[in-house]
Amino acid sequence: MPNLRFTEQPLSEWMSSGGKDSDIVISSRVRIARNLLHAPFPMLATSEQSEDVLRKLQDVLDDERIEDFGKIYPILLDDLEDLDKKVLVEKHLISPSLANESKSGAVFISENESLSIMVNEEDHLRIQCLYPGFQVQEAWERATSVDDIFEDHVDYAFDDNRGFLTSCPTNVGTGLRASVMMHLPALVLTGQINRILSAVSQVGLTVRGIYGEGSEAMGNLFQISNQITLGQSEDEIIENLYSVVLQIIDHEKTARETLLTESHLRMVDRVMRSYGILSHAAIMESKEAAQRLSDVRLGVDLGLIDTLSPQVLNELNVMTQPGFLQKIFSENMSPGERDMYRAKLIRDKVNVNNGKEN
């Protein structure tokens, strides 16, 4: 039986602690893509070739230096139920691609879930490090340390002119994708968000939804990451992202101050209406839940609500996703049933933290 502890708790341990500017930057992530020399890329590999890659990469876990990152649990995707895969996607521990399309796919997850290493996804190896708040530099330092250990054991596909070779041309070069998840409700409410995101795209960065490429930015959560991996060093990529995110943080803080000073009553009303709906609604679609939770998170950050913590809201952001809902209640649900159970879960969580019984 695979270790399912990672699908049973909604809040990863790494998210329990705060981080720099955590009222705006929810998390920082660095992902490094690598492929093995003399092995076909995953999309072209046979099952036997993919299994051979998995064996070679799993053997690296025996290196004693890996212990510096905590206990690592190897999990084979073929051993998981579809629902458990969905939950791992919702917790950002694996990608939708690994969950749905991989041959001999696996993930190695650290005990506190801050490190996940995907095997036989789009590339042979994807090392991902997650940190709370604005700690992209720290995430990069950890990811490159893990990368060094793997490179001591296997030969990477590397070209002197192009750098590290990857399945997708957009990852060729450094193979580095650094990103931050930002909560930007004030920029949305003041109508500045499109201008800000347009400026971001002009400096080599891109904006995606909470599950990466092709996903929707729900609940005013935006994932901002580098778009260029070729022609820049890793340090330049990290520094560019860092400096731009600092500017966005300043813009969001200014917009929040504007809302409090110029539209204080409307701001209080919006936050409290969402708080009331979350406390009493009988049906809640996922999109509305994301928006209401965003309003309440803003209320907590602005000091308008003192009965909920950011950690509770982080939990709810995961627990209200379709996969985790079904995991919690141990049954397959229609969309309508999920809306009902989602509302119940939110009511229970919010009212317990208010000291009330539902």
Please write the tens of the pLDDT for every residue from 73-82: 999 999 999 9
Please report the pLDDT score of residue 228 as a whole number. 86
| Ligand-binding site membership of 179 (annotated) | yes
| Ligand-binding site membership of 212 (annotated) | yes
| Ligand-binding site membership of 209 (annotated) | yes
Written in H, E and C, the secondary structure of the chain is CCCCHHHHCCCCHHHCCCCCCCCCEEEEEEEEEECECCCCCCCCCCHHHHHHHHHHHHHHHHCHHHHHHCCEEEEEHHHCCHHHHHHHHHCCCCCHHHHHHCCCCEEEEECCCCEEEEECCCCCEEEEEEEECCCHHHHHHHHHHHHHHHHCCCCECEECCCEECCCCHHHCECCEEEEEEEECHHHHHCCCHHHHHHHHHCCCEEEEECCECCCCCCCCEEEEEECCCCCCCHHHHHHHHHHHHHHHHHHHHHHHHHHHHHCHHHHHHHHHHHHHHHHHCCCCCHHHHHHHHHHHHHHHHCCCCCCCCHHHHHHHHHHCCHHHHHHHHCCCCCHHHHHHHHHHHHHHHHHHHCCCCC
Residues in CB range of 6: below 8 A, 6 or more apart: 73, 75, 87, 88, 91, 93, 109, 113
Residue 78 buriedness (CB in 10 A; 0-12 / 13-18 / 19+): exposed
| Ligand-binding site membership of 29 (annotated) | yes
Tokens at 288, concatenated:
């509305």
| Ligand-binding site membership of 181 (annotated) | yes
- Residues 110-146 have pLDDT tens digits of 999 999 999 999 999 999 999 999 999 999 999 999 9
Please report the pLDDT score of residue 86 as a whole number. 92
Please report the pLDDT score of residue 172 as a whole number. 94
347 within 8 A of 279, measured Cβ to Cβ? yes
| Ligand-binding site membership of 195 (annotated) | no
Tokens at 115, concatenated:
């490190």
Distance CA 305, CA 311 (A): 14
Distance CA 348, CA 141 (A): 40
| Ligand-binding site membership of 213 (annotated) | yes
| Alpha carbon of residue 23 to chain centroid | 16
| Ligand-binding site membership of 177 (annotated) | yes
Please report the pLDDT score of residue 273 as a whole number. 97
- Residues 282-321 have pLDDT tens digits of 999 999 999 999 999 999 999 999 999 888 998 898 889 9
| Ligand-binding site membership of 180 (annotated) | yes
Residue where the block lists tokens 């731009």: 244
Please report the pLDDT score of residue 216 as a whole number. 60
pLDDT tens, per residue, the chain with 358 residues: 455 678 877 778 777 767 899 999 999 999 999 999 999 999 999 999 999 999 999 999 999 999 899 999 999 999 999 999 999 999 999 999 999 877 899 999 999 999 999 999 999 999 999 999 999 999 999 999 999 999 999 999 999 999 999 999 989 999 999 999 999 999 999 999 999 989 998 898 999 866 555 556 689 999 999 988 888 999 999 999 999 999 999 999 999 999 999 999 999 999 999 999 999 999 999 999 999 999 999 999 999 999 998 889 988 988 899 999 998 887 788 989 999 999 999 999 998 766 554 4
Q: What is the dihedral of CA 251, 294, 272, 349, to 10 degrees?
A: -140
Tokens at 311, concatenated:
């950690």
| Ligand-binding site membership of 210 (annotated) | yes
| Ligand-binding site membership of 55 (annotated) | no
90 within 8 A of 324, measured Cβ to Cβ? yes
Could you tell me which of 87, 134, 131 has the C-alpha nearest to residue 107? 87
